[in-house]
Structures are given as structure tokens and as C-alpha cells.
Structure 1
Amino acid sequence: MPTPSSPAATESAEEQRHAVLRAAHDVADDLAADAIARDQAGLPPMDEKARLCEAGLLAALTPPGPGRGVDWLTGCAVIRAVATADSSVGAVLARHYVHTWSGRFYTSHHQAAALEEESRRKQWLWTGAVRTPGPDEDTHAADLTLWPRNTGYLLNGCRSVDTAVTVADQIVLDAVCAVTGDILVVRIPRGARGVTVEPAHGRLGQRVAGAGKVVLDGVTVTPGQLLGRRPYDEESAAPFTALAETALRLALCHVASGIVEGALSEARDLSRGGHAHRLPRADPDLLLTYGELASAAQTATAVVHRATAVMARALDTGSQLDAEEPASVAALVATAENVTSKAALDITARVLELADAPGLDRFWRNARELTAHQPVMRRLRSIGEHYLNGSHRAVAAAFH
């Protein structure tokens, strides 16, 4: 049997990577064929979940381990490929992938291994809504509360979840223990007694992402559903745990990149085909506009790829991660968010001037929904603080 470092093992891992990427592109082609119709219908992503399961992507997008999972670079490439065709499904996949890392972020690789293997075997779809630690957080006014019992807890409260809330198999949430004040991260299985879901209706964009609110009324949380403790603030977080929220933001940058690529490609195809474009293909103004948009898209992609490579190295380092590294990673991710959000909003708006075709507006609506709650000024100040003062505090969150 080849060892992990042998040529045979390396070749096998590379073959697996190519197979996962091929499956992602096949799913993207399938989603692109009816993207407009599904966007207009705005139904919960049950059919989309089935497509991801059939392609093996839910099983593949788990943390890397012996015989399972994919590395961070491959996982992000899969997210981006799917988001190019349908950013709603890309966001579902992004949050799925990051939340499958929850066991590692809040406990240890060894303790998480069994959960990751079960997730792979059963093709679970993960989602969640874990809040960002902050100095102003009021644990006494928590929206989710855990009440200790002889074994485990009872969970009460409600929270909004951005993806797959009606179809996910595992929902990852943080809640405050009413007795100790500890902030605990738990996973709630699909169909658990006391769980009800209120789907979000009438969204501007990301209509197929399956957003909604989860209401929990006396939901039993067993010891096996407890993933670990969430820190109260950035300063008290272990270095590897501090990557959890940043990793999610970066995964969603790949969704934004997919929106940019999908919008620009669809407009280009319309212009090449001579359908619905407003200027002749040889018009200098048209060429100038495509040059500007292509340059902006490539710049955003380069910035995101740099942040992704740095995040991948940090995740590979694991528990040996340097205490200062998470802030440096967060600064790069915040920069990627800043560039991609601007590119996504600008490019998706400007392609509407180049082509007037049904459904092309969905890219702008999706970009707007994805970036609507970004605290731009706060994020830029945090980047500046890290650059000027070398602040070790985590850079402000941009996606929620």
C-alpha cells in the first residue's frame, strides 16, 4: 500500500482532485441549463441538493482526511465553479464546506474525524449561523439559550440562517448556556423534535439559497451534538478557532467571484452570438468596456486566490498555527471581500448595458443580496489598522 508521501499516493490524490473538479463543472453545466427558471420559481433547494448529492459533492466537500475530503484550494475551486452557474447553490455549497470544518475549529482533528466520516458516508448537507465574537456582545440577551439537563441541554430561541435552512441535514449554531454563560457551538440534526423553519420569501436575489429562520422550542441537544466552545472575543480565541469565521467569509468571496465570471461570460456569449447586444462586436466602445470589465474581474480573482493560498497554509498548519497568523489571514480576506464586492456589483450592473436578455439581471440581484450587509467602512478601517499598527485583532466581518 502506498504511503501518503509516495508517488502512487500523490497521483491518486491528484486524480481524486481532478475527478471532484470534473463533477463540479458537470453540475455547473446542469444548473446553468435551467438557472433562470429556478431563480424565478424561488423554491427551497431540494432539487439542487439532490443534484449535489448525485454528483458526490456533498461527500467530497468535507475536510481532508485519510480516504476522504478535499483540500481548501480544491474546495474553493468547486464552490467557484458551481457559483458561476448559480450563485445560490454556490452559497449553499460554501456554507456546507465551511461548516463541515466545525468539529476541527471548535474541538480537535481527532475528535472531529468520526463526525466527518459520518458526514461523508451519509452525504449530509450542512448549514449554520455562528455569530462573530465581539467585545460588545451581550450574552444576557442571547437569541439562543441552552438549559442544562442531566445529560445534555435543551435549546430555545430563533435565528436567521442564510442557506438551506429547510433542507440541511445539520445546522450549526452557537448558544449561551443559561447557567455558566459559556457560548457553546452545537449541531442540530434535520427533523429534530421542537425545530420549525420559516422560509424567507420575496428575496431580491439568491432566491434558491433556501434562507429562512429556524425556531427552536425545547430542542434536545445530546453530548454528541456539542461541537465545542465559541470564544467570547477575538483575543480569547485559539489561533485555529479564529480562522472559522474568516474561512466562511473567504468561501463566500469565491461565490462573489463566481457571480462575476458567470455574468461576464453570459454577456460575452450574447455579444459573440449577435443576440440582444446593443453595439456591434467591432465597436471600439464595446471592446473598451469588455477590456475594463475583464481586467476588473481578473484583478478580483488574483486577490481572492492569494487569500485562498494563505488560508490553505494556515489550515494545513492546524493547532501549531502562530498566534499572529489569523489576523494576517483576516486582513487578506477582508481585502479580497472589498475587491470582489466592488467588482461583482459593478460588473453585474454594467453587463446590463451590453446585453438586454431575459435573466441577465439575476447576476446583479444575487451580487446585491450577497453583499448587502457588508460594513465597508469598518472593514477598511480594520485593514488600515492592521497595516499601520500591526493590530492582532481579527479584521471586521463582512459577510453574515
Structure 2
Amino acid sequence: MGVTTTPSPPASASDPTGPGRAHWLRVAHEIADDLAIDAAAREQAGKPPFDEVSGLRESGLLNLLIPAELGGGGADWPTAYAVVREIATTDAAIAQLLGSHYFLSWSARCFTEPDAAARIERRSATEQWCWGGGFAPRDFPLTLTRKGRGYVLEGRQSYATGVLVADRLAVRAERAGDREPVAVVVTPTHPGVRIDAAEAFGQRLAAGGDVEFDAVPVTVHDVLGSLAADDDMLSPSAALASPIGRLLSVQLLLGLAEGALAEAREYSRAGQSSWRSSWPDGSPQDPHVLTTYGELTILTRSAAALADQALAAVHNGLARAEDLTYDEYADISVHVTMAEAAASRAAQESTSRALDVVGSRSATARLGLDRFWRNARAHTLHRPVAHQFRDAGDYFLNGAHPPFVLPA
């Protein structure tokens, strides 16, 4: 896969803020166009996305969120969300990989001291690391045991995004003894780390897999900080990690819905629908086609409007920084929960019913339209929409705050 974009130059003293939003959106559009060329063939092959990650690295997108003074792109979260959504319209698996990378590489700011976070981000920018892993709770957690001046990490983590291509893993582990959950950074090339590729039916290019840790040494500097979900104990920066990460999923699902509708529309405009009616096949005047597109467009744009509200809430929360109150955080989390539910429903409906519009031709493997449905379905399984409706309803009826949930 050839990427036409050129690497972004490191920020200089005369450019302390990075290239700017317009630059990154242009780069994301070019990457999405490049991925679209052979999206169906690459997805069917299911090979680890080393070439795709190289393209992201060459374009500068891996360093987008790292401050310019540390050698990164100097962009903000609204820009990162827009980049993920743009790429998801053509390749949702690569968008998931990139979104997970953004969250994990940025998470040091939430869970460790500023100086330590800056050291990690500077090195990540210099060496252009791709991050994989995840902080979601597991039924069988990893164990971090004290040994000498450091620790050893043991256990097996089920599916985690990006691990097949990652330069660094960020994972959740429990300290032996008090069982406090902490964020840990691990080098995947250590001989005690074994990674097995996942056999998922969707999001196959997200480089996901299971990771086994066999007495892997961890220094004290590689333990970032607590992931405890006690809302009363969370700092504002740590609390915002939940809605920030979940909003990445919202953008990915919106991109999926928009991409599926755009691709189906091309077939409808070309008269390639196989629906039988009194209208010629695939006619843009077919009332069934018009009704379906109308429903799905309204559903997707409604979800996008809720996502915009959630994004504004998150952005305002980041601006308030340590002045953020618990009630303000809870309100941000509710906005994201509602956006999650709407985006999940929009993605599932659009990617499924777009196949109906195209008709029996959508079953052709060559077209690869099924990848949109499989990707949406696989992604939404990690956080079922029923949970989001329940949390939103509990807030509306009882004033209950949504739980602190880190993204899977």
C-alpha cells in the first residue's frame, strides 16, 4: 500500500503549536482515500497491518496528539476524533487501531506525573511508537508482583487492539496483595511476552490478539498509576479518561455508518440495486430505496449531532482541567453515553440495511460490503448498546451517574 502523504516535519521553535487542524484533516483524507483502493481485498486477506501502520507513521498521524514542544503534532482531541472518523469511513479496523493508539499513548497524562508523562511522550514521538493494549477490566486480571527494585508481570490478557504491530503495550494489572488496578507499560519484544493473533469475524485489521506475560520485568517507571474506579478518589484528569476513550468509539461507529451509506449510494446511483418493483432496477426514484436512505441518513445525522454535543462537553472538561467538579464530569459522561448509544444503533442499522438497498449483489465477496456490517457488529459487542440505554435511563429517571468505564 503506497501512501502519498509526506511526513510532517518536527515542530520547530517558530512553530510551537504544530501544523494545525486543516493539515491533519487533509492528511487523514489522503490516508482514507489510499486505504479505500484495496480495502475489501486487504480485509479479506486479514494480514497484520504493518504496511498500514507504516503509512500512518510516515504521515505523522501517530504523533498527532503529542505536544509540539515534545516533537509531536501538537493537535487536540477534536482533531484526533475527526481523523479517526474520516479513516473509519473506508477502513474501520485501521481507525480502531489508530484510535486505540491515541488513547493509550495519551493516557500517561491521566495516570502519572507530568514530568514522567512528558518523558514517555517525547520518546514516543522521537521513535514514532505505535501503542497497543487496553485498560478494560478482565475476568482474569494480570498480576504485578514486587521483585527487588521493580516488579514482574504475569498472566494472560484476552483480546487487545494493536498488539500485533505495537512498539509499546499499555495494559491493566492488579498489584499482588492489595489488588489495586494500575496501568503498566511493557515492551512487546521481551522474550516473556507472547502474542497470539485473534480470529475475529470483524475488525480483522485492528491487529488484535491475546497476550501472555510470563515473568516479564517491569520497572517502577513503567507503572503509570492507579486505574481504580472509585469516583470519589479520581482526579479530574483521570476521570476524563473514560469519556475521552469512549468518544473514540463513537467517532469510529459514525465513520462506519457514513462509509457504508456512501458506498451503497454509489451502487444505487449506478442503477445496480436488485430490488424488484415497478421501477427499473436501482432507480434513484424507487420509493423503497428513498425511504431506506432517508431513515438511515436521519438516524446517522442524529447520532452525529449527539456526538458533537459530547465532543463539546469533553473539550470543555479538558479546558477546565483540575477545576473540573465531579458533577461536571458526570454530565460529560452522560453526554458520551447517549452519543455511544445513538452511534451504535446508527452503525448497526446502516451497515445492515445498506446491504438490503444493494440487494443480492451485496453478497458478492468481491464488493466487500459485508465488512461494514461485520466491523460494526464486532466493535459494538465490546460495549452492548443495551448497557448505554440503561445508564442513560438511570440518569434521567434517578439522577444516577454513569459508571467509570475505560474503553475495551
TM above 0.5:
yes
The partner residue of 1:280 within 263, 279, 283 is 283
CA distance in 2, matches of 1:149, 1:160: 25
The partner residue of 1:294 within 294, 297, 300 is 297
Name 1:390's counterpart in structure 2: 399
Name 1:83's counterpart in structure 2: 88
CA contact (8 A) 2:243 2:336 kept: yes
> Which amino acid counterpart does residue 160 of structure 1 have in structure 2?
S
CA distance in 2, matches of 1:57, 1:166: 19
CA distance in 2, matches of 1:66, 1:22: 23
Does 1:72 pair with 2:73? no
The partner residue of 1:377 within 369, 377, 386 is 386
CA distance in 2, matches of 1:90, 1:120: 20
Name 1:222's counterpart in structure 2: 219
Deviations 1:278-336 (CA, angstroms, capped at 9, x unpaired) = 43112233222212211111111111111111112212322222122221111111111
Q: Secondary structure at the match of 1:78?
A: helix
Give the percent of matched residue pairs that are identical in Structure 1 and Structure 2.
39
TM-score by length of 2: 0.88
Deviation at 1:224, TM superposition (A): 2.1
The partner residue of 1:96 within 101, 104, 115 is 101
Deviation at 1:247, TM superposition (A): 1.7
Alignment of 1:233-382 (within 5 A): 233-276=230-273, 278=275, 279-355=282-358, 356-357=361-362, 358-382=367-391
CA distance in 1, matches of 2:273, 2:397: 49
TM-score by length of 1: 0.89
Structure 1: which 5+ residue stretches go unaligned?
Answer: 1-8
CA contact (8 A) 2:229 2:404 kept: no
CA contact (8 A) 1:126 1:171 kept: yes
Distance 1:213 1:267, change over 3 A: same
Distance 1:162 1:383, change over 3 A: same
Distance 1:225 1:11, change over 3 A: closer
Distance 1:316 1:109, change over 3 A: farther
Name 1:116's counterpart in structure 2: 121
Distance 1:143 1:15, change over 3 A: closer
**Number of aligned positions between the proteins:** 383
> Which amino acid counterpart does residue 143 of structure 2 have in structure 1?
T
Name 1:6's counterpart in structure 2: none
CA contact (8 A) 1:156 1:218 kept: yes
Name 1:4's counterpart in structure 2: none
CA RMSD in angstroms, aligned pairs only: 2.3
Say which is worse superposed, 290-299 or 27-36, in terms of deviation. Answer: 290-299
CA contact (8 A) 2:175 2:181 kept: yes
CA distance in 1, matches of 2:68, 2:76: 6
Name 2:30's counterpart in structure 1: 26
Does 1:53 pair with 2:57? yes
CA distance in 2, matches of 1:396, 1:54: 35
Does 1:144 pair with 2:142? yes
Name 1:198's counterpart in structure 2: 196
Alignment of 1:142-221 (within 5 A): 142-201=140-199, 203-221=200-218
Say which is worse superposed, 72-81 or 268-277, in terms of deviation. Answer: 268-277
Name 1:3's counterpart in structure 2: none
Q: Secondary structure at the match of 1:324?
A: helix
Say which is worse superposed, 238-247 or 185-194, in terms of deviation. Answer: 238-247
Deviation at 1:75, TM superposition (A): 0.5
CA distance in 1, matches of 2:383, 2:178: 33
Distance 1:317 1:170, change over 3 A: farther
CA distance in 1, matches of 2:311, 2:14: 22
Deviation at 1:240, TM superposition (A): 2.0
Distance 1:239 1:381, change over 3 A: same
Deviation at 1:34, TM superposition (A): 0.7
Deviations 1:241-282 (CA, angstroms, capped at 9, x unpaired) = 122132221101111011001000001111122335543112
Q: Secondary structure at the match of 1:218?
A: strand
CA distance in 2, matches of 1:399, 1:372: 12
Distance 1:66 1:125, change over 3 A: closer
CA contact (8 A) 2:111 2:227 kept: yes
CA contact (8 A) 1:239 1:321 kept: yes
CA distance in 2, matches of 1:363, 1:94: 18
Q: Secondary structure at the match of 2:204?
A: coil
Structure 2: which 5+ residue stretches go unaligned?
Answer: 1-12, 276-281
Q: Secondary structure at the match of 1:394?
A: coil
Distance 1:383 1:395, change over 3 A: farther
CA distance in 2, matches of 1:92, 1:122: 18
CA distance in 1, matches of 2:248, 2:300: 17
Q: Secondary structure at the match of 1:240?
A: helix
> Which amino acid counterpart does residue 90 of structure 1 have in structure 2?
A
CA contact (8 A) 1:21 1:77 kept: yes
